[in-house]
A and B are shown apart, each in its own frame.
Chain A
Amino acid sequence: MTKLPDLYEPDAQRAEDPWAGLRRHTSARIALGRTGVSLSTARNLEFQMAHAQARTAVHSPLDLDALEADLGQPLLRVASRAPDRAAYLQRPDWGRRLDTESVAKVEAARPASAPDVALVLADGLSSLATQQSAPGFLKAFQPLLEEAGLSVAPLVVATQGRVAIGDEIAAILGAKLVVMLIGERPGLSAADSLGLYLTWAPKVGRTDADRNCISNIRPGGQSYEDAAYRAAWLAREAFKLQLSGVGLKDRTVTVDAKAQVEG
């Protein structure tokens, strides 16, 4: 049998880019090569998989039973006013507020003496991040709060929640400070970044200018230990200065920028 002409050899038609070595300087998708001027099947599927993973992170519901088991402590389960994911994505205002039933639940859980700190978890835009990283982070963080002599309200988890829902929850609990853990908007390279928002004197109507944020908490990003250290530092400073947000500057020096790049 005669060999097919090169015209029908896929390998001969696909051009590799000889500068693939430059990839060591960036996580950008450089030197992808081409077939004609288009992406090869393999490259195209790589992208599709990354996007599918990011979308899965956005749309998967939080598994509350598994989360509770991983945390090893009881969770007060509440919900925002967004009835489902589609509503959540279109109505940020609904995701910032508790539904009526949840308000009553939180009121019933209010401790007799006002707690210093409320810890609130939410799915946000990546349930994957919360599911995966909230237990590990809290394991590092809760002992630091205890060391600082700060009392903590019952642990709350909000579904279809945005950052500001933590303000309403903490206000009902009577807490002086809220620490909110929430899944961040997934990118293609990392779909599992957990964000932490710390807000002094939480109440409905607080804005981003009132908060301090630690982002990219995940395996391969900011480690649980570093994030817990920084968050505890910020919490102590917030109590000292009686504020959070633009007036509270993070002066810790444990930022692991390299891990963020390579993640």
Chain B
Amino acid sequence: MYSHQVGAELFRFPDLRTLMARATPLRSGDQLAGIAAATDVERVAAQAALAEVPLKTFLTEALIPYEADEVTRLIIDTHDKAAFAPISHMTVGDFRDWLLSDAADSAALAALAPGLTPEMAAAVSKLCRVQDLILIASKCRVVTKFRNTLGLEKRLATRLQPNHPTDDLRGIAASTFDGLMYGSGDAVIGINPATDNLHATVELLHLLDEVIQEYNVPTQSCVLSHVTNTMAAIEEGAPVDLTFQSIAGTEAANTSFGITLDILTEGHDATQSLKRGTVGQNCMYFETGQGSCLSADAHHGVDQQTLEARAYAVARKYQPLLVNTVVGFIGPEYLYDGRQIIRAGLEDHFCGKLLGVPMGCDICYTNHAESDQNDMDILLTLLGAAGINYIMGIPGSDDVMLSYQTTSFHDALYARRLLGLRPAPEFEEWLDKMGLMPSDGAFTPASRPPAALSQRMTLLEAE
């Protein structure tokens, strides 16, 4: 039992799970689940009670029972007590104060990551304002490598996302060239396929591999199909750089995605065995998003932000190259408007980075959410300031396959110019060498394709 007195009124919270839900800043998904605070006063009372909870409590009071959920077992069984030791005496409130202090520098935060559980990260995030989420996350560095180096300070990478409604190879190639001309694609060139058809997946993998090989692009490709589909493609000898999977924070939600931790291990091992990386072998790509557990009716009465943080515990087990929250994709029944989407994007980035996960964000919205490009500009600017590893890049913000809006090639250049954020070093050098974008820090793309690209682009135009 947890409680907090406000004047004459005593607010009671029967267990830690309820306390966490009531302390969460307002969002429609928790209201839909019937677990949100009823009033603003109850919410702050819950935050005050949560601030007094010792961090150690999260190691003994599981929000989802150990016996019932393999994600809980993963979190508890892999918890690093030695890394946790320096903060083991703190309450959640003390922890926030320490994170904001000068003692919590990049080295201290990196050393702490294995000692943190997702529930601890989620709890402290609920006590943070937006500026806290940004300032603390900006001190965290999570660096990963495959054919280039991602997550370095003052660097921002982009996933070139050349989706097409019917996976037309010429259409995908057209969007890929468009993105390269704007300097996009260092995080990954990653396609959401229109179907789960294996043949189509293999065909797309070959297309991307050809582009990367022909121009010697220091980047990696990915077709965002189900992990079992990618494993089948590997068996067929397809050129798989990264294996993708959507993941969530409970075993039941992962089951609804058709995965278990064992399946992810198999996918990881199969991909790793190809050894296609040059500067490193981080070979997994995961996507997440608040609300996925509730949407699968697999939330156990836990708030959606805490469940999202638990998905990062799943991710970090596999040392991924890339992890991103698809923050506004799921719809207004989980994150109603720009205000909720912006806060959620910053929370997700903060929790992921604290836990040692290479966080990116699909800064996005759907047309039935109360949101627009202005909200995305705000979130992009804030995440750029917070040191996000990567964002999406799509022609003109409009995904014509998935029917939602995310950040464009232009948006990434805006963030680079405003905040001085350079591409991954290997990719930046390649852009310069190819005549696509000089590495002079002005981030001005070439106005016309260099000879090497223009020939292929002209041929494609004529096809």
Task: Name the B residues within 8 Å of A15 (CB-CB).
Answer: 447
Given A58-B368, A185-B366, residue A260 in contact with residue B174 (CB < 8 A): no
Q: Are A28's CB and B397's CB within 8 A? A: no
- Other A-B pairs beyond A28-B171, A261-B168, 13, CB < 8 Å: A18-B449, A27-B165, A28-B162, A28-B163, A28-B164, A29-B398, A51-B372, A90-B336, A91-B333, A187-B367, A189-B398, A189-B403, A261-B166
**How near does chain A come to B88, taking the closest CB pair, in angstroms?**
40
Task: Name the A residues within 8 Å of B333 (CB-CB).
Answer: 89-92
Task: Name the B residues within 8 Å of A29 (CB-CB).
Answer: 395-398
**How near does chain B come to A162, taking the closest CB pair, in angstroms?**
10
Task: Name the A residues within 8 Å of B368 (CB-CB).
Answer: 58, 89, 125, 185-186
A8: Cβ under 8 A from any B Cβ: no
Segment at the interface with A among B175-183, B219-227, B241-249, B349-357: B175-183
Interface size class of A (residues with CB under 8 A): 35 or more
Q: Are A19's CB and B181's CB within 8 A? A: yes
B457: Cβ under 8 A from any A Cβ: yes
Q: Are B175's CB and A18's CB within 8 A? A: no
Task: Name the B residues within 8 Å of A31 (CB-CB).
Answer: 178
Segment at the interface with B among A37-45, A71-79, A113-121, A229-237: A37-45
Q: Which of B436-463 contact A (CB under 8 A)?
A: 443-445, 447-449, 457, 460-461, 463
Q: How far is the CA of A91 from the CA of B28 in the complex (A)?
A: 9
Can you name 26 A-B pairs with beta carbons within 8 Å?
A18-B449, A22-B174, A22-B460, A25-B171, A27-B165, A28-B163, A28-B175, A29-B395, A30-B175, A30-B396, A32-B396, A32-B410, A34-B445, A37-B417, A37-B444, A50-B398, A51-B367, A51-B373, A89-B368, A90-B28, A92-B333, A187-B400, A191-B367, A257-B166, A261-B166, A261-B168
B120: Cβ under 8 A from any A Cβ: no
Count B interface residues, CB 8 Å. 52
Q: Using CB atoms, name the residue of chain A closest to B161.
A: A28
Task: Name the B residues within 8 Å of A261 (CB-CB).
Answer: 165-166, 168, 171
Q: Which of A32, A37, A47, A91 has the most CB of B within 10 A?
A: A37
Task: Name the A residues within 8 Å of B449 (CB-CB).
Answer: 18-19
A26: Cβ under 8 A from any B Cβ: yes
Q: Are A28's CB and B398's CB within 8 A? A: yes
Task: Name the B residues within 8 Å of A34 (CB-CB).
Answer: 410, 445
Task: Name the B residues within 8 Å of A188 (CB-CB).
Answer: 367, 398, 400, 403, 405
B32: Cβ under 8 A from any A Cβ: yes
Q: Are B414's CB and A26's CB within 8 A? A: no
Given A22-B461, A25-B171, A28-B175, residue A47 in contact with residue B367 (CB < 8 A): no
Task: Name the B residues within 8 Å of A187 (CB-CB).
Answer: 367, 400, 403-404
Q: How far is the CA of A253 from the CA of B143 in the complex (A)?
A: 50
Q: Mark B40-63, 1 if CB is under 8 A from A, else 0.
A: 000000000000000000000000
Q: Which of A1-21 contact B (CB under 8 A)?
A: 15, 17-19, 21
Q: Are A28's CB and B400's CB within 8 A? A: yes
B-side residues, CB < 8 A to A, are 28, 31-32, 162-166, 168, 170-175, 177-178, 181, 331-333, 336, 366-369, 372-373, 394-398, 400, 403-405, 410, 413-414, 416-417, 443-445, 447-449, 457, 460-461, 463
**How near does chain A come to B158, taking the closest CB pair, in angstroms?**
13
**How near does chain B come to A141, taking the closest CB pair, in angstroms?**
25
Q: How far is the CA of A26 from the CA of B373 in the complex (A)?
A: 23
Q: Using CB atoms, name the residue of chain B closest to A188.
A: B398
Q: Which of B164, B405, B410 has the most CB of A within 10 A?
A: B410
Task: Name the A residues within 8 Å of B178 (CB-CB).
Answer: 17, 19, 22, 28, 30-31
Q: Are B181's CB and A37's CB within 8 A? A: no
Among the listed B32, B165, B373, which residue makes an inter-chain contact with A260, where contact means beta carbons less than 8 Å apart?
B165
Q: How far is the CA of A97 from the CA of B171 in the complex (A)?
A: 42
Q: How far is the CA of A261 from the CA of B413 in the complex (A)?
A: 29
Q: How far is the CA of A23 from the CA of B178 in the complex (A)?
A: 10
Task: Name the B residues within 8 Å of A55 (CB-CB).
Answer: 367
Q: Using CB atoms, name the residue of chain B closest to A31.
A: B178
Q: Using CB atoms, name the residue of chain B closest to A48.
A: B373
Q: Which 6 A-B pairs have the closest CB atoms?
A: A29-B396, A187-B403, A26-B171, A37-B413, A22-B174, A30-B178
Q: How far is the CA of A36 from the CA of B396 in the complex (A)?
A: 15
A54: Cβ under 8 A from any B Cβ: yes
Q: Are B398's CB and A47's CB within 8 A? A: yes
Q: How far is the CA of A188 from the CA of B372 in the complex (A)?
A: 12
Q: How far is the CA of A119 from the CA of B447 in the complex (A)?
A: 55
Q: Are A19's CB and B414's CB within 8 A? A: no
**How near does chain B come to A34, taking the closest CB pair, in angstroms?**
6
Q: Using CB atoms, name the residue of chain A closest to B409.
A: A32
Task: Name the B residues within 8 Å of A22 (CB-CB).
Answer: 174, 177-178, 457, 460-461
Task: Name the B residues within 8 Å of A68 (CB-CB).
Answer: none
Q: How far is the CA of A90 from the CA of B29 in the complex (A)?
A: 8
Q: Which of A25, A27, A92 has the most CB of B within 10 A?
A: A25
**How near does chain B come to A45, taking the closest CB pair, in angstroms?**
12
Q: Using CB atoms, name the residue of chain A closest to B462.
A: A21
Task: Name the B residues within 8 Å of A36 (CB-CB).
Answer: 417
